[in-house]
Amino acid sequence: MGIRKLDWNNWIEMDSNFLWYHDLKVSELEKDIDAHVQYVDNAVTRDACFEVLEELTAYLTARYPKIFQLSNGILRNTLTKEEFSYPASTYHPQSQDPADHQILPRKRWQQQPNWSKTISSSWLKKTFFIQLDDGLHWSHRMGDQDSNEVACKSIHLSGNPSNNSAWETANDKGLTINDLYFRSERQSLRRLPRSKALLFTVRTYFEPITTIAQEPHVPGRLAEAIENWDEAASKYKGKHHWADILLPYLHEQDELQKKSGVLEKIPEGSFPY
């Protein structure tokens, strides 16, 4: 995990998976928006919501002008063909662009980041997990998304949901290296200038382990990071479910890269973890 000051030019990131992420998030919102979007309806919240819309519009139209375009009071997304009135006269959560906002899985306990410093500037945090399947919005091996099983079992273990993960209900039967996915979360936190509200965003990167392990230096660095976890981190990230499958594979791929000479040809890049 790494925490650093946010480069404003890279506040919101987009890549080739944008449409997949977008369509999946829209689908989840349409199924049950109340399970994903909750807010206190008062003047302070409304002002903050309008400010988020203004900040995102200003940023996205400048950072990605071929995709997000504003003209004649209409904000257009050229990829999805969506159009929104701007400025908005009434705040509606479904009218927000879901490109870079977290949709929390229902009834799933998640630790919130521990920001010990007063937020006077913008911060960026990166962390990663190993997932047992290809579910971006919900890992089906963790249990039923519509049941209380995951949350209830986590609470039962210590009486404090923030101290447990949902791994107690995970199903690792028949797991192979082809099932494992690398899930990295790029989290940003900033204080909005007008409303002074705190805005927390999450950008998820989600790729098969077998894909990222082909990148030079990645298998060795990833194995080293995992092997340096302490007991608490290992338990929280469910290491006992997948370590016996993943670590031998990473060491094998690292050895192949060393023998091929690719590690000498391609310099090692910077990693946030």
52-62 residue pLDDT tens: 999 999 999 99
Give the pLDDT mean for 210-225. 96
CA-based nearest residue to 3, from 80, 114, 137, 160: 114
Nearest-angstrom CA–CA distance, 189 and 171:
33
Nearest-angstrom CA–CA distance, 71 and 233:
49
Taking the alpha carbons of 262, 265, 271, 273 in that order, is the dihedral positive or negative?
A: positive
Q: Please provide the DSSP assignment of 253-272 as one string.
A: HHHHHHHHTHHHHS------
Report whether 24 contacts 137 (CB < 8 A).
Answer: yes
> pLDDT for 137-194, tens place per residue?
888 888 777 766 655 444 444 444 444 556 888 889 999 999 999 999 888 898 999 9
pTM: predicted TM-score of the whole model, two decimal places = 0.75
Please state the length of the chain.
Answer: 273
DSSP state of 144: -
> pLDDT for 242-264, tens place per residue?
999 999 999 999 999 999 999 99
* Extents of the domains making up the chain: 2-10+17-109+121-212
